[in-house]
Structure 1
Amino acid sequence: MVQQESRLVAADNTGAKELLCIRVSGGSTRRYARIGDVIVASVKDATPGGVVKKGEVVKAVVVRTVKGAHRKDGSYIKFDENAAVIIKDDNTPRGTRIFGPVARELREKHFRKYYKEDQAMTKIKVGDTVRVIAGDTEKSKGKEGKVLKIDHEKGKVLVEGVNKVTKHAKPSAQNQTGGRIEKEAPIDISNVMYVHKGKPTRIGFKITEDGKKVRVAKSTGDVID
């Protein structure tokens, strides 16, 4: 658990290497910081030419802890090191890249910009054709379908005809008999890839001559929309 005098790894590209916790934000009675908590820290080691300098006092959000955390579903997560990301006053990262895994507890505490899947959500839209490239369900891997729904809070997408599960449904106006029905289950946004000309491709952005931001397929450079 992170407290005063704890040392943390800087998990970004600001140039900082090691941080020393000076104070845990949130009141004078707060002694310990968990994943997602903000701390005030001193930069103990930094690379020359970085955004931050050695000895500088910075704000940082804890992204990994050795102590770990219990989750509502009964699972438990812990890491090999204490790590933090240096942030600005508006809680956005000062660096442009974050290294290593980031616990999802940060999403619950409104640090959404630390997630690769949140960046992916801006690239995948409802109606896009995607292919499942990874995941726990091997039966869905390699399948393609149209995106029916995007859950921004959970970082998941619903893909037509992919990852179908059987559920018991009560009688309703649409299904008067009820019984067992098959329906699509959500999958992680990071497990799907946009399909362009029959092949999965990464998506980028570019600004057109009229100032409009459009999506482009990185494999071909073609404008998607």
Structure 2
Amino acid sequence: MVGELDTMPDLAVPALLLERLQGTVRGLGFSDFCLRIRAQNGHWHSLGTWTAAVSRHLFQESEVAPRSIAPALIQASPLPAWWGSAAATLPRPDLDAMDLIRIQGWSDVMGMVFLDAGGPIMGLHLSCPEIRDHSSNDIVALRQGAEAILLHCLEAGLIGRPTERIAPMSNREHQVLTLLVRGYSNTDIAKTLDTTVNTTEFHLKNIYAKLGVFNRVGAALKATRLGLIIQE
């Protein structure tokens, strides 16, 4: 089940970030894990203690037909979608991934998938030797470790769609985006621009749609990377 540590030669992910994530994974009692990241060319790169064949098979299931692995992923919102369930209790349609989990002898599996407008850009799969309950703090710790790597890759332009076309923004949308990048809250943005919070939120929704992101962090990172920030 456990193979040599896979590497991601095309993705310069700092070793410290990977070591922190691995330490968190081990500290929470997971026996094996795999982190997969989609590069600019669309190819997936793996890091972890699962064999490449096992991790690739699981991720193919979650990328192509996430509903086959866990109902939660059907409703995967713009936010990272978490799922965790006991393999023994999952419904059993014609599902190769679950067969594979049982063959490997894993009692429990957990995963996270980060989505952008083009689909999954990073995922984390973990396995436990026995069924156990994971607290919200566990989820936060894992998410923080994975997000640190994701943010590094976004800032470095290592992941994402090969070509990106941003719809034109209005002057007011540029103003809102600039203040967002500076760390202003919605209330602060509204006060600065002498408008209402509802109007600010309306502009933010339009900005997110045009940038192809779903939250403030994604908007700030993408705006910075694409040079969209208005400097006064």
TM norm structure 2: 0.25
Higher strand share: 1
